[in-house]
Amino acid sequence: MASPLALPAPLALLALPALPAWVILLIAPFVLLNVILGLVTYITLLERKFAARMQSRIGPYRVGPHGLLQPIADAIKLMMKEDIVPNAADRPIYNLAPIVFLIPCMLIFATIPFAPGLGVGDVNIGILFFLAVSSMEIVGLFMAGWGSNNKYALLSAMRAVNQIISYDLPFIFSALVPVLLTGSLKLGDIAAAQQGSLLRWFIFYPVIGQLSFIMFVVSTLAAENRVPFDILEAESELVAGFRVEYSGMKFALIQLGEYAHMIGSSFLGALLFLGAWSGPGPEYLGPAWFLLKMLFMFLLVTWIRWSFVRIRVDQILALSWKALLPATLALLVSTAVVVVWRTNGF
Amino acid sequence: MASDLAMIVPAVLRAMGATFKNFFRKPITVHYPDRPRIYPNRYRGLLALTYDKETGEENCIGCRLCEYVCPPAVIKVEMLKAPKRNFAKTFTLELYACEFCELCVQVCPTDAIIMMKSFDLSTADRREMLLDKDRLHAIGQQHEPSWATGNLLRDMQTPPKAAAPAHAKPAVPPPAQSQSGADAVGPRETA
Amino acid sequence: MLDRPTVARVELDWAGPERLTMNMGPQHPSAHGVFRAVVTLEGETVVAVDAVIGYLHRCHEKLAETLTYAQYPSIASKTDYVAAMTSEFAYVLAAEEIGKVEVPKRAQYLRVICAELQRIASHLLWLGTWCMDMGGALGGGATIFLYAIREREDILDLFESLVGARLLYGFFQVGGVRYDIPNGWVAQCRATIDRIDQRLGEYEQMLEQNPFFLARAKDVGVISRELAEDVGIAGPLLRGSCVPYDLRRAAPYSSYEDFDFRIPVETDGDCFARYRVRMVEFREASKIVRQALDTLPGGPISSRPALKSVAQIRIPKGESYARVEGPRGEVGCYMIADGSAKPYRMKWRGASFSNLSILPHIIPGHKVADVVAIMGSVDPVFGEVDR
């Protein structure tokens, strides 16, 4: 956390006056949340344009030049929609669910450093905080499904709990590989260990790096309910799943949470495997490189999403428990062996 | 398990490669209201009544053959008898129920009712699609007519008995080059 | 049973299996039309399917008694609206069989060309919607759907140049066809089928060994050979279950015996087998079109004088049952003619109607997600089911 006197390199350019720590503690999360919100809205547009190009069409085009105002139009539309609450819904749970879903998805950005020292809180257990908090969205999800009093929503919520819990373990294990390679849970340290040259990125670490990256991507797909693992909201069967009874601003909050979680996992992946802010050019370009790498992760996931059909829930669970979990465990153990071997100097 | 992986990974990459290849193809979207849609020559669009090219009189003789043949019965005609030839006193066509099957065009003896190469008639009020005679004539003046008129269609279907007149189809299969004639495929947009 | 009030909470009873009755349809993104399936679930497994149809009933058979032989082919398109020419074909074949009307060779070849192009277009729509059902409207399914529709639009352009309409034609007529091919159509047709053949290779590349696709389609919805022959299904469902029956070979109509094509038969009987059958049918259909274009004879396109009035076509007394091999199976038209300009009675054998009867046999035992996969591979069109 930046002390009042030493600002991180990118901000030093702005020549801000030295501020007391508690002021920075108020401003930084505010700025971060707003940036994330803006990023989330425009990343929906990016995804739509990207997917459209892969499908021989254009995507949003009419609202604003080349569709640039489309996310704003969507946001205004959602805010203006009538808030319909089903008669038999369990009101307190129904109303709280979007908030309980959204808060963890926003909280995960707290420990991510966007440049050396630039972040809300780069705590010692950074990655542990991220992984723990990001699993809490299941609570909000299940509350949404249960509170709607709708069979489709309930089915979807049950599938969600199944799937996210099953895939959190491989997610954690594959995210722990860079931790082992660095020797620290602090995200700033993991990023710093990859600075210097391209080949120091953990994705280029022989064999272990590539394998853990692939497993990270697969677990992210499943933890984010992206096709091929989006049985949770399978539109053609369950018609929007646990979100089916939400409209208007509550739906917007749930969408926001999903995409925020997606971006958060992309940031984490870029940090763990792609070297965070390392890139050619001066230091203050660091966050820009980080953003580009996050977009690369996001587009990779999007590319996979728009190329495959989804698989059934029992197949998803089989894949997780029978294939992915043993594989990530084995990978973690072999990483530990390699690290010990290396520190003892073979 | 390893052999499965050896099969799965290339298959996954192949599928992603197919999507990737399409990423670089030109999109096939046609920006419809900004660029007009190009209709082929035989397009069955809006219906219209025509005037005779030489005399400028209405072609319709009020014979009601179109009214009888129409499957959803959307045409209503009343004949007006006159010394030299008959006219249609009223001619109503309910475009909102029309099937666009072209049977009325097929049976019309004087090529009075034809279809246009345009479909642009959206309204907010369905009553505007109840076309009366004036409206039908106006549509005929506003848009480009399709190639298909009653006589041309009937000539196309009749088994030829005598030598082929100028505008009939040749008896041999048409060669594979497109000639610029009224009955060609017509312009198409290239995506 | 079907009117249970929805306000009641679902009681989850951990002591034993709780059966949940879930309604899929009639408004549902993957119901392929208006179809209501009341499925009874135990957890995720379907134990019973109760199909409710009739939401699209438009009294076609009564309508045929009030419309003449000249008018009805335009209406017949609306039964199987995805492959509209199939129904028109069956209707005019029935009328021609009773009236012993000769159809000139050129008209027969044109009918074959259009029927096969229609088969390709219909299978493209099947591929797109099936993958969309399995993959979701926001996902890989939509990608394949858009590719398939992109190809189908090219075929619809062909029909537009020929007939003037894209979806519902009115191309067939008792005695022949109504339109002859314009100049330049043959070249456009050849170019289109070449392009589609090549793009089909791309789709197969995307799907054939795709592990996710195989996981959804293999061993799902297995129809055994005995069941297929018992229940009375037809079309790719039958040929996917090792029964080599295709009307174009078994009872050739309209010069199909002149063409050289093979009938794909698969032995597994699951969704993947039916997918393979249809993919091969694509290629065989384009083979037939090419052969027909190469050997298209000259001559008239109708053996009867051109249609000039509504009651022009009169069929003498008699009855017949004419059937064609549509993309979905056997489309049959049973007609009783009484000498006037309208049939006395006309009955449709809808291919999808008979194919739907297989659902209560094969769906129980599968998971909910498989219901849409199986329905997609059965490929019903509800215009044909409800008529």
For residue B174, name the pLDDT band (cuts at 50, 70, 90).
Answer: very low
Q: What are phi and psi of B113, to 5 degrees?
A: -100, 130
- CATH number of the domain bearing residue B114: 3.30.70.3270
Examine residue C64 and state whether it is found in any structural domain, yes or no. Answer: yes
The Cα of C4 is separated from the nearest Cα of chain B by a number of Å equal to 39
Examine residue C153 and state whether it is found in any structural domain, yes or no. Answer: yes
Q: What is the pLDDT of residues B34-47, one digit of tens each?
A: 888 888 888 998 99
What is the rounded average pLDDT of the residues A221-249? 72
Q: Is C127 on the interface with A (CB under 8 A)?
A: no
Examine residue B28 and state whether it is found in any structural domain, yes or no. Answer: no
A55/B22 touch (CB, cutoff 8 Å), yes or no: yes
Examine residue C224 and state whether it is found in any structural domain, yes or no. Answer: yes
Examine residue C155 and state whether it is found in any structural domain, yes or no. Answer: yes
Residue C123 scores a pLDDT above 80: yes
What is the rounded average pLDDT of the residues C365-387? 86
Domain span holding position B65: 47-157
Whether C154 and C195 have beta carbons less than 8 Å apart is answered as yes
pLDDT of C137: 59
Element (H, E) at B93: strand B87-94
Model ipTM? 0.81
Q: Is C154 on the interface with A (CB under 8 A)?
A: no
What is the rounded average pLDDT of the residues C122-137? 84
A312/C147 touch (CB, cutoff 8 Å), yes or no: no
pLDDT of B184: 63
* Chain A residues near residue C215 by CB distance under 8 angstroms: 311-312, 315
pLDDT of C293: 93
More confident residue, B77 or C213: B77
- CATH number of the domain bearing residue C192: 1.10.645.10
CA distance A204 to A211: 10
Examine residue C93 and state whether it is found in any structural domain, yes or no. Answer: yes
The Cα of C19 is separated from the nearest Cα of chain A by a number of Å equal to 12
Residue B171 scores a pLDDT above 80: no
The Cα of C262 is separated from the nearest Cα of chain B by a number of Å equal to 27
Examine residue B39 and state whether it is found in any structural domain, yes or no. Answer: no
Domain ranges of chain A: 82-343
For residue B166, name the pLDDT band (cuts at 50, 70, 90).
Answer: very low
Q: Nearest CA to C85 among C194, C153, C191, C159?
A: C159
Rg of chain C over Cα atoms, rounded to whole angstroms, equals 22
B154/C308 touch (CB, cutoff 8 Å), yes or no: yes
Q: Is C43 on the interface with A (CB under 8 A)?
A: no
Residue C321 scores a pLDDT above 90: yes
* Chain C residues near residue A234 by CB distance under 8 angstroms: 136, 369
Tell if the pTM clears 0.90, that is, is over it.
no
CA distance C372 to C31: 8
Q: What is the pLDDT of residues C70-85, one digit of tens each?
A: 999 999 999 888 989 9
What average pLDDT does the structure give for chain A? 83
Choice among A166-180, B40-54, C26-40 with the minimum mean pLDDT: C26-40
Q: Is C150 on the interface with A (CB under 8 A)?
A: yes
Q: What is the pLDDT of residues A105-153, one digit of tens each?
A: 999 988 888 877 777 777 888 888 998 998 888 898 888 888 888 777 7
State chain A's maximal CA–CA distance in angstroms.
Answer: 69
B158/C302 touch (CB, cutoff 8 Å), yes or no: yes
Q: Is C231 on the interface with B (CB under 8 A)?
A: no
Examine residue C115 and state whether it is found in any structural domain, yes or no. Answer: yes
* Chain A residues near residue C214 by CB distance under 8 angstroms: none
* Chain B residues near residue C150 by CB distance under 8 angstroms: 28
Residues 6+ apart with CB under 8 A from C10: A151, A154, C18, C20
pLDDT of C185: 92
Element (H, E) at C38: strand C36-42
pLDDT of B121: 83
Domain span holding position C204: 60-386
Residues 6+ apart with CB under 8 A from C252: none
For residue B175, name the pLDDT band (cuts at 50, 70, 90).
Answer: very low
pLDDT of A4: 40
Burial class (CB in 10 A: 0-12, 13-18, 19+), C91: buried
Q: Which chains touch A (3 or more CB pairs under 8 A)?
A: B, C
What is the rounded average pLDDT of the residues B57-75? 91
A237/C368 touch (CB, cutoff 8 Å), yes or no: yes
